[in-house]
Amino acid sequence: MTSGQEDNWLRIYNSSIALPSECAPLSARDIDSLAQNRLLSLENLLVAYRGRTPSAACRLVIDPASSSVLMCDLGSLPGRPEGARDLIDHVITQAREMRIARVGVWVDGSSESLANLVSSFSFDVRRVRVRMDCTMMSAPERTAASPTSRFSHLTDGRPLSESDLEGRTTMHDLIEYNEMMWRESERLTTGQAVVSAYTSEKSRTTAWMLTRGQNPANQDTFNIEERDLLALMTRLYERRVRHIRAETVPEYAVRRVFSSVGFEPKKSCFLLGLELLY
């Protein structure tokens, strides 16, 4: 990627990705830092042009093991939706030439126009994730966990990676992972689910919490008890964590448990997928 192409990619990203007001625009220095730390391959940053005018951009995450490619940070300049259409068509064509089995796009629940555009290529919804936040103003109510639950304190847990979030990340998320070096420090294991809590030495008051089902064939279906989640939150509170970001499934029973202990939904993400037949 030339410096001019990188500038165009940054321009499109910063104008099309909805970011919190406290986030500064992405810079060329940020991209160089991610590339140096092997969190990003510059050849996977794509820009679509209409004539000589840049119109859309995305970042590819290619997984040879699952024969899949994800289009992340897909966006177009205001008034140029045709650019995103060109980019999706290009990626599908390239995926066919590489004999890749599936193409996926994670779409923010608030991006209805982008979801409609992706769906027009016969993509359909494969997975849904809900992001939730909780601020613990005081210690959670102490309660006994269910007898079948197991808690683990990890002194050298594995780092949080983009693969844990399966591409539901923006470039700003990657920058945060690079800076914060989140590591799994607490784990709750029940008969149906695993809840992993990630903390950082650089910001001990904040934690990430990810959930997955125990069934390898369907990790999106499970239940969790309120008392188990409270017990895990208590362990985090004792570590001086006060703010928790969680990502979980959209099923009402699970969301209700998270809401009952103080979590509030922030956004939903949809994985739209397309199987390529040969």
The mean pLDDT value for 106-125 works out to 90
**pLDDT, tens digit (0-9, with 9 covering 90-100), for 181-193:** 899 999 999 989 9
Structure tokens at 259: 């809401």
Domain count, the chain: 2
Domain co-membership, 97 together with 137 = no
Rounded distance between C-alpha atoms, residue 76 and residue 80, angstroms: 6
Please indicate, yes or no, if residue 79 is contained in any of the structural domains: yes
Query: Does residue 159 share a domain with residue 64?
Result: no
Looking at the fold, whether 89 and 216 belong to one and the same domain comes out as no
273, part of any domain: no
pLDDT in tens, 134-172: 999 999 988 888 999 999 999 888 888 777 776 577 888
Is residue 112 domain-shared with residue 75, that is, in the same domain?
yes
Q: How many residues belong to the chain?
A: 278
For residue 87, give the amino acid letter.
L
The answer to whether 164 and 197 have CB atoms below 8 angstroms apart is no
pLDDT of residue 167: 55
SS (H, E, C) 6-56: HHHHHHHHHHHCCCCCCCCCCCHHHHHHHHHCCCCCHHHEEEEEECCEEEE
Contact 185, 154 (CB under 8 A): yes
Residue 262: Cβ-neighbour burial (10 angstroms; 0-12, 13-18, 19+): middle
Domain that holds residue 108: 3-121
Is 212 within the bounds of a domain?
yes
Do 146 and 228 sit in the same domain of this protein? yes
pTM score, two decimals?
A: 0.86
